[in-house]
Amino acid sequence: MKKTGAEIFVECLKKEGVKHIFGYPGGVVLNIFDALFDDKDLKLILTRHEQGAVHAADGYARASGKVGVALVTSGPGATNTVTGIATASMDSIPLVVFSGQVPTLLIGNDAFQEADIVGITRPCTKYNYLVKDVNDLARVVKEAFHIASTGRPGPVLIDLPKDVTSGITDFVWPEHVKIRSYNPTYEGNKWMIKHAAHEIAKAKKPVIMAGGGVILSGASKELKELAELTKIPVTMTLMGLGGFPGTHTLSLGMLGMHGTYYSNMAVQDADLLIGIGVRFDDRVTGKVATFASHAKIIHIDIDPTSIRKNIRVDIPIVGDVKTVLKDMLKVLKEETKEPWDAVRKSWLKQISSWKQERPLRYTYNENVIKPQFVVEKLYEITKGDAIITTEVGQNQMWAAQFYKYDKPRTFLSSGGLGTMGYGFPAAIGAQLACPDKTVIDIAGDGSIQMNIQELATAVIDKLPVKVAILNNQYLGMVRQWQELFFKERYSYSHLDVVPDFVKVAEAYGAAGLRATKPSEVEPVIKEALKIKNKPVFMDFIVDWKEKVYPMVPAGASINEMLFEEEKKTEKRLKAVK
C-alpha cells in the first residue's frame, strides 16, 4: 500500500516503539502534523519553544533509557534546536531530531524559512541526514535510531524537505541495519582486561571513577559488584551520579571542582585509578599535570577517541562498560584469591578519616534559608525516591552535593555544555517517561527564566512537575566567581528585577508557593508534593551570599580546595595559583 512521506514518518516511529514526540509546528511540516492528528498511538507534546522540545526529549531519554524524539519546522524552528542538540551531544544522550526543510528544488536559494541545519548541526550531532527522496525515508529513520542508541549514544538529525513528506511511495520497513563504516566495539580486549584485573589485585590504594557511561550502558549492577568484591571506593563525575549508590559506604560522592574533599584527596593519593565510562573533563581533573599523578590509570570506554584525549592512560580498554565489567569480574573471581578486606583496610581507614575531617557542610541560620538546607529537605521528605533535574550553576552543584542518588537515571543535568534552561523542560520529559515518579527541578531564579514558557506545556498535559527555585536574586555562580576572583565587582550578575514566581505560576494555571524563612521550607515542600494534577513552583528566598564549597580554583590541582570557613580567600588563592 502506498503512503505519503508523512504517513511513512508516523509508521517508522511506531516501528521504533516511540510513544511521545516533543515538537512545534510550522509550514513545511504540516503534512506530518496532519498525519499525527488522528493517530492514537503517538502523542505529540506541544512545547512552547523548540529548545524546550529538544530538552524535553533529552530528559525523556535520560529518565527512560529510550531514544528521545523531537519534531520542528524549518529555518528558525530548526536553529532553535541547536542548543538542545549540543547539550545532548556533550552528554551522549540518544535523540533523533526531525527538522522540516523547504522543498528540495528551493534548497540553496535562500527560500523563506530556509536554513542549512545539516551544516549548522554537523559539529554537534553524532550523524545527520538530508533526505532527498521519499524512497529513502524509512531506511534513514531506521539508521538514525540505530546510530543514536548504539555505541557511544548521541543525537542524530534528519532534515525533511516538504516535497519528501508529501511524496508517495510504498512503505518498506528495513528489519536490519547494516552500515559498513559504523561498527562500535562492544567486547573489550581480553589481554587488557586481564592486565587490568591484575593491577586491581595488587593495588594498595585504588579508586574507581565512574562516569555517565556506567548509566548509559546499564552497568550499575556490575559496578556495585566490582566495588563490593574488591573493596574499592567509588567516586562519581556529575554525569555518573546514581551509577553507584550515593549512600553506600564505599561511595565518595562527586569529585572535581566542587567535589567532596575526601573524593579529591583519594584520587590524588591513589596508586590506581579505574576510569569507567568517563572522559576526564577539565572540571573533574583540575590541573592536568598533577591529576592522579601517583596512580596508574585504567580507562574503560566505548568511544576510542575519548581514551588518552585528556589524560595519559596506562591500560586502555575500548568496549561497552557493562560487557567489560562482566568480563573483568569473571577474571577477578577466577584468577585472584586476594583477601580484599585485609588489602584495603588501611586505605579505607584513611578515606574514613578524610570523611570525618571535612564532610560536606554549611552554616545553618535560623533567620535565612540556606540553599543547601532546601536540597537536604527535598532529600529527606522524598526519601531519595525522586528524579531530580537541575539547571546550571550553584543550584546544580548543591543538588549534586546534598541529594543522595542511589539509582541510575534519577539525576538529570547538563554536564558537558552547562545549559541554563535545561532542567525544567527536561523534568517535563522525565515526568512523561516516568508518570508514577516524583520529578523535581532544582533551579536558580536566573536559569528558570530561560524556558519558563514551558509552564504552559506542563499545565496543559497535567504534569505534576515540581520546581524548587533557589531564589538569590543573582546569577549565583557568576557572582561567586566575581567575589572570589574579581574583587567583588558584580558586573551584570545581579538580577535587579526578578518576577514574582508565585504569580507567574498562577498566571499559567500552575500552583505557586513561597518560603522566606527556614521554618517554612518543609511545609512548602510537603504541600507541593500533595498536588498531583499540575506543576508547582516553590519559590525559596535564599541567602544571596551563599557560595558552593568545596571549590577548586581554575588552574589548581583538585586537592587544592577552598572551604567555607576560609573567610579571607586572597592568600589562599595566591597559594594555589
Q: Does residue 568 fall inside a structural domain?
A: no
Q: Does 218 lie in the same domain as 149? A: no
Q: What's the mean pLDDT when you consider all of the chain? A: 96
C-alpha cell recorded at residue 402? 546534598
| Residue with the larger pLDDT of the pair 471 and 38 | 471
CATH classification of the domain holding 42: 3.40.50.970
pLDDT band at 143 (very low <50, low <70, confident <90, very high): very high
Decide if pLDDT at 438 tops 70: yes
How many C-beta atoms surround the C-beta of residue 363 within 10 A? Answer: 10
pLDDT band at 44 (very low <50, low <70, confident <90, very high): very high
pLDDT band at 338 (very low <50, low <70, confident <90, very high): confident
Q: Does residue 556 fall inside a structural domain?
A: no
Decide if pLDDT at 571 tops 60: no
231-253 confidence digits (pLDDT tens): 999 999 999 999 999 999 999 99
Q: What does the alpha-carbon distance between residue 511 and residue 430 come to, in Å, rounded to a whole number? A: 19
Helix/strand/coil percentages in the chain, nearest 5: 45, 20, 40
Q: Does 463 lie in the same domain as 432? A: yes
C-alpha cell recorded at residue 560? 587544592
Q: What angle do CA 296, 285, 275 make, to 5 degrees?
A: 45
Whose grid coordinates read 500500500?
Answer: 1
* Catalytic residue list contains 162: yes
Contact 32, 376 (CB under 8 A): no
- 553-572 burial, b at 16+ Cβ within 10 Å, e below that, comes to beebbbbbbbeeeeeebeeb
Q: What does the alpha-carbon distance between residue 71 and residue 96 come to, in Å, rounded to a whole number? A: 9
- Mean pLDDT, residues 401-415: 98
Task: Name the catalytic one among 397, 477, 538, 551.
Answer: 477
Q: Does 290 lie in the same domain as 430? A: no
Decide if pLDDT at 517 tops 50: yes
Q: Does 387 lie in the same domain as 342? A: no
Decide if pLDDT at 556 tops 80: yes
Please state which of the ranges 186-195, 338-347, 549-558 shows the lowest mean pLDDT.
338-347
pLDDT band at 574 (very low <50, low <70, confident <90, very high): very low
Strand partners, 559: none
Decide if pLDDT at 346 tops 80: yes
Decide if pLDDT at 570 tops 90: no
Q: What does the alpha-carbon distance between residue 13 and residue 303 come to, in Å, rounded to a whole number? A: 27
C-alpha cell recorded at residue 75? 529555518
DSSP 8-state assignment for residue 108: T
Question: What per-residue confidence (pLDDT) applies to 156?
Answer: 98
Question: The pTM is what?
Answer: 0.96
* Catalytic residue list contains 50: yes
Contact 196, 328 (CB under 8 A): yes
Q: Does 384 lie in the same domain as 306? A: no
Question: What per-residue confidence (pLDDT) applies to 564?
Answer: 83
174-213 confidence digits (pLDDT tens): 999 989 999 999 999 999 999 999 999 999 999 999 999 9
Q: What does the alpha-carbon distance between residue 255 and residue 261 come to, in Å, rounded to a whole number? A: 8
CB-count exposure of residue 177 (10 Å: 0-12, 13-18, 19+): middle
Task: Name the catalytic one among 14, 113, 520, 522.
Answer: 113
Question: What per-residue confidence (pLDDT) applies to 337?
Answer: 75
Task: Identify the domain containing residue 24 by its residue range.
Answer: 2-170
pLDDT band at 577 (very low <50, low <70, confident <90, very high): very low
Q: Does residue 326 fall inside a structural domain?
A: yes
CATH classification of the domain holding 246: 3.40.50.1220
Question: What per-residue confidence (pLDDT) applies to 531?
Answer: 98
In percent, the amount of the chain with pLDDT more than 70 equals: 98
Question: What per-residue confidence (pLDDT) applies to 575?
Answer: 45
pLDDT band at 576 (very low <50, low <70, confident <90, very high): very low
Decide if pLDDT at 254 tops 60: yes
Whole-Å CA distances, 191 to 119, 315, 414: 41, 10, 36
Q: Does 390 lie in the same domain as 347? A: no
Whats the size of the chain, residue-wise? Answer: 577
Contact 135, 169 (CB under 8 A): yes
Question: What per-residue confidence (pLDDT) applies to 566?
Answer: 61
Q: Does 397 lie in the same domain as 339? A: no
Q: How do strand 2-4 and strand 168-170 relate by DSSP bridges?
A: antiparallel
Task: Name the catalytic one among 50, 114, 222, 391.
Answer: 50
Q: Maximum distance among all alpha carbons in the chain?
A: 77
Q: Does 236 lie in the same domain as 139? A: no
Number of compact structural domains in the chain: 3
Task: Name the catalytic one among 142, 162, 287, 370.
Answer: 162
Question: What per-residue confidence (pLDDT) applies to 432?
Answer: 98
* Catalytic residue list contains 328: no
- Mean pLDDT, residues 34-42: 94
Q: Does 379 lie in the same domain as 350? A: no
Q: Does residue 183 fall inside a structural domain?
A: no
